[in-house]
Structure 1
Amino acid sequence: MFKKILVPTDGSTLAAQATTVAVRMAKSLNAQIVAVYVIDPFPYIGIGDASAVGLQAYLTEAKSAAGQALDGVRKACEADGVVFAAGDTIERNVVYEGIIETAEAEGCDLIVMGSHGRQGVKALILGSVAQKVLTHAKAPVLIVKS
């Protein structure tokens, strides 16, 4: 059925819950896990050296957080004997696009991700990465709600 499952992660508890579901699924299906961490590009536009220093500090911190989050997915896979095929860190202005691009580039046939399950006006105002992935992804998407 599914052979390669994409798990987007941000290192949150909700992402860890989605990882647990994805790993259990992968184990039962003899599938592989691919994880992705999407870094928003540097949010501050400045002038001069201060901007360059700020950018470098931001990217260093973001890449460290990405490494920790991806390592969490890798460890969850290893604990259950599931193949951790790849851990990608990418930069995108639009997070959901980065998730979908990774799914397509890695040949993933399922995306498993967390969602806060916002409803009504909150969902309309805040939007949702999960909702946008559901709307635009070509692969099936399994949403793990908090």
Structure 2
Amino acid sequence: MFKKILVPSDGSKLAHGAAEFAADLAKVHGASVVGLYVIDPFPYIGIGDASAAGLQAYMGEAQAAADRSLGDIQACCEARGVAFAADTIERNSTYEGILETAQDEGCDLIVMGSHGRTGVKALILGSVAQKVLTYAKVPVLIVKP
């Protein structure tokens, strides 16, 4: 039924749970998994020499976080014998990056974790999962804590 599953990750325990679920699902369906990490752009203000050093340090840390997160998804897939590909992108809007990648990679399912925020926290902080659910053109499976 599914051929390519997108698994966006922020490196959290919830994202790990979604990666395990997606890898299990991919194994059952003979699908592959695309792991995705979206980096927020550096808030560059262009003042002084420190900004270039700050950008380099920021991107180094962001890439290290992406590598850890995608490595976790890859390990879940390898343990189940599931084909895996990794993608790291830089976007101002995480949910838009997820949707763009799903379309560009030809994914037919998005599996992601949800932090389960409710009430005022959900209204103020927003929810990437909620936005993906709202705007996705493919099915979205949310793995709850």
Above 0.5 in TM-score? yes
- Distance in 1 (CA, whole Å) between partners of 2:118 and 2:10 is 22
Matches within 5 A, 1:53-72: 53-72=53-72
Could you give the per-residue CA deviations for residues 94-145 of structure 1, whole angstroms, max 9, x where no partner exists? 0000000000000000000000112222211211000000011101000011
Matches within 5 A, 1:87-106: 87-106=86-105
Gaps of 5+ in 1: none
How far off is 1:65 after superposition?
0.9
Structure 1 length-normalised TM: 0.96
Identity of aligned residues (%): 70
- Distance in 1 (CA, whole Å) between partners of 2:119 and 2:36 is 29
Aligned residue number for residue 117 of structure 1: 116
- Distance in 2 (CA, whole Å) between partners of 1:15 and 1:79 is 17
1:101 partner amino acid: E
- Distance in 1 (CA, whole Å) between partners of 2:74 and 2:24 is 13
Aligned residue number for residue 106 of structure 2: 107
- Distance in 1 (CA, whole Å) between partners of 2:52 and 2:90 is 17
- Distance in 2 (CA, whole Å) between partners of 1:7 and 1:26 is 11
Aligned residue number for residue 14 of structure 2: 14
How far off is 1:44 after superposition?
4.6
Structure 2 length-normalised TM: 0.96
Aligned residue number for residue 3 of structure 2: 3
Gaps of 5+ in 2: none
Q: CA RMSD, aligned part only?
A: 0.9
Residue 123 of structure 1 aligns to a residue whose secondary structure is helix
Matches within 5 A, 1:19-38: 19-38=19-38
